[in-house]
């Protein structure tokens, strides 16, 4: 029953995408696999410092197809919502993504948030705009209580972004994630559904 409700929440996503003033958010779909691979290739060096170490095979079409299938399956199962961010200025330009993963139901009703944006679109407030819309959707449609996000202490952009969205600092986790080949500390934050 819970999985059916979660699947309905995904189906409620506007078919034309969720539009804000400057971006459109669309659920991950195989029709966007090529665009996502182009995005990852163009931003490989930009994102390397903030992500797990990637093998060269990660940046190939077969691997991109496999990742997209996993995202679609997770959304169908109600355990994730993977959104791609497109620029309104350039209709088909994929400029970023955001992911609500590890959705847990029961008494927890929470998930983890991850995101990235094209290096050429940083500093314009576009990710804040996209996340504000995405967070509103995940709280309303999925009925979650808490969204958690973490960032490396030196990542000032993420610190400011999350604070501007209302995320509260909850502590620092030592050697939390293996990023760029090294175990890295992360600042833990969360946003509680304002309607709860």
Residue 12 has a pLDDT of 78
**CATH number (domain holding residue 89):** 3.40.630.30
Residue 1 has a pLDDT of 38
Please enumerate in sequence order all residues whose Cβ is within 8 A of that of 66, keeping only pairs 6 or more positions apart, or say none.
Answer: none
Evaluate whether residue 93 is within a structural domain: yes
- Number of domains making up the chain: 1
Evaluate whether residue 157 is within a structural domain: no
Residue 145 to residues 55, 108, 134, Cα–Cα distance (Å): 36, 8, 14
Structural domain range at position 16:
2-143
pTM, 2 dp:
0.91
Q: Is the pLDDT of residue 162 over 70?
A: yes
Q: What is the pLDDT of residues 91-132, one digit of tens each?
A: 678 999 999 999 999 999 999 999 999 999 999 999 999 999
Evaluate whether residue 119 is within a structural domain: yes
Residue with tokens 């094209």: 118
Evaluate whether residue 111 is within a structural domain: yes
Evaluate whether residue 192 is within a structural domain: no
Evaluate whether residue 182 is within a structural domain: no
Residue with tokens 């993504």: 97
Are the C-beta atoms of residues 38 and 94 closer than 8 Å to each other? yes
């Amino acid at each position: 029953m819970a999985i059916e409700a979660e699947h309905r929440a995904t189906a409620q996503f506007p078919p034309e995408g969720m539009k804000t003033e400057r971006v459109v958010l669309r659920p991950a779909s195989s029709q966007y696999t090529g665009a996502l691979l182009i995005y990852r290739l163009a931003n490989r060096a930009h994102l390397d410092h903030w992500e797990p170490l990637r093998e060269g095979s990660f940046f190939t079409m077969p691997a991109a197809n496999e990742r997209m299938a996993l995202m679609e399956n997770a959304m169908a199962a109600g355990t994730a919502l993977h959104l791609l961010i497109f620029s309104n200025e350039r209709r088909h330009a994929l400029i970023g993504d955001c992911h609500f993963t590890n959705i847990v139901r029961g008494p927890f009703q929470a998930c983890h948030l991850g995101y990235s944006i094209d290096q050429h679109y940083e500093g314009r407030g576009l990710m804040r705009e996209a996340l504000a819309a995405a967070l509103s959707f995940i709280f309303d449609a999925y009925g979650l209580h808490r969204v958690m996000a973490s960032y490396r202490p030196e990542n000032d952009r993420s610190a400011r972004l999350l604070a501007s969205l209302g995320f509260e600092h909850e502590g620092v986790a030592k050697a939390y994630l293996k990023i760029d080949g090294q175990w890295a500390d992360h600042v833990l934050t969360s946003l509680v559904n304002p309607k709860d």
